[in-house]
């Protein structure tokens, strides 16, 4: 099955002309290579909502690329920046947010999402082979960059273990799940719009 409705955490739509939309934020989660940034940007355009990619937000705020933050300041410092960036994104309305693939390893981020109101969290999945291949393509495309663009991907086995460890958090946090295996990003966007129809 390509997609599934999950926790029923979507809030009921109120009636009346001035009723606020039931969901005011859409948060995309999933492992590296799941398409969060590409799909999120396009989804936001279709909805005429704002878009924040948490990694880009951090990079702009820090004036350093994510691989450089990892190399110079370490993962713990990056995770603290990620938590602050998520908290500030959740204060905004009519916003699609693409999380980094590791954001849900941080308990504070899971709590922030599970307590956020009018916020729909969508997990983008794909087969491990698809995720890993997409990441490898990105790595090849970025050949020549001074630092590894995916500091935490590791080898195939390490990546599989990392995904397995995160999967429970991804699934527990998700209101909706979309399997993007074999989908072009635009097909995924259309599938998401269909899934979201009843809550926007
Ligand atoms: C990470 C995923 C990356 C980025 C950082 C760490 C991870 O984001 O936040 O390299 O721990 O999985 P994407 O999932 O957008 O690639």
Evaluate whether residue 8 is within a structural domain: no
Evaluate whether residue 17 is within a structural domain: no
Evaluate whether residue 67 is within a structural domain: yes
Best of 97, 128, 152 to mutate for ligand 1, by most ligand atoms within 8 A of CB? 152
- Number of structural domains the chain divides into: 1
Closest Cα to residue 185, out of 43, 51, 46? 43
Distance from residue 118's CA to the centre of ligand 1 (Å)? 25
* Ligand 1 lined by 55 (C-beta under 6 Å): yes
Evaluate whether residue 79 is within a structural domain: yes
pLDDT at 138: 86
Evaluate whether residue 3 is within a structural domain: no
Task: Quickly tell me which residue has 């999402």 as its tokens.
Answer: 113
* Ligand 1 lined by 35 (C-beta under 6 Å): no
pLDDT at 8: 40
pLDDT at 148: 77
pLDDT at 2: 44
Best of 34, 55, 67, 148 to mutate for ligand 1, by most ligand atoms within 8 A of CB? 55
Written as six digits, the tokens of 27 are 């948060």
CATH code, domain with 183: 3.40.50.300
Distance from residue 16's CA to the centre of ligand 1 (Å)? 41
- Asked if residue 156 lies in contact with residue 64, where contact means CB atoms within 8 angstroms, the answer is no
pLDDT at 50: 98
Evaluate whether residue 18 is within a structural domain: no
Closest Cα to residue 109, out of 100, 145, 61, 48? 100
pLDDT averaged per 10 residues in sequence order, the chain, 200 residues: 46 45 90 96 98 98 95 96 98 97 97 96 96 89 81 87 96 97 96 91
Q: How far apart are CA 21 and CA 12, in angstroms?
A: 9
Q: Which range of residues forms the domain containing residue 101?
A: 25-195
* Ligand 1 lined by 36 (C-beta under 6 Å): yes
Evaluate whether residue 11 is within a structural domain: no
What sections of 13-102 are H helices per DSSP? 36-47, 54-62, 66-73, 75-89
* Ligand 1 lined by 69 (C-beta under 6 Å): no
Distance from residue 24's CA to the centre of ligand 1 (Å)? 24
Largest CA distance in the chain: 56
Evaluate whether residue 9 is within a structural domain: no
pLDDT at 11: 41
């Amino acid at each position: 099955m390509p997609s599934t409705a999950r926790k029923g955490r979507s809030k009921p739509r109120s009636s009346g002309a001035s009723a606020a939309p039931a969901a005011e934020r859409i948060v995309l989660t999933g492992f590296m290579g799941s398409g969060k940034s590409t799909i999120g940007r396009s989804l936001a355009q279709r909805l005429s909502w704002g878009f924040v990619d948490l990694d880009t937000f951090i990079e702009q705020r820090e004036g350093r690329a994510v691989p450089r933050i990892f190399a110079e300041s370490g993962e713990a410092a990056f995770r603290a920046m990620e938590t602050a960036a998520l908290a500030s994104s959740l204060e905004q309305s009519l916003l699609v947010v693409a999380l980094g693939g590791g954001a849900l390893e941080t308990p504070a981020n899971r709590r922030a999402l599970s307590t956020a109101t009018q916020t729909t969290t969508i997990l983008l999945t794909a087969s491990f082979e698809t995720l890993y291949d997409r990441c490898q393509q990105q790595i090849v495309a970025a050949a020549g960059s001074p630092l590894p663009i995916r500091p935490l991907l590791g080898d195939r086995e390490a990546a599989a273990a990392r995904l397995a460890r995160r999967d429970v958090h991804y699934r527990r946090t998700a209101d909706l799940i979309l399997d993007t295996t074999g989908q072009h990003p635009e097909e995924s966007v259309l599938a998401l719009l269909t899934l979201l129809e009843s809550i926007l």
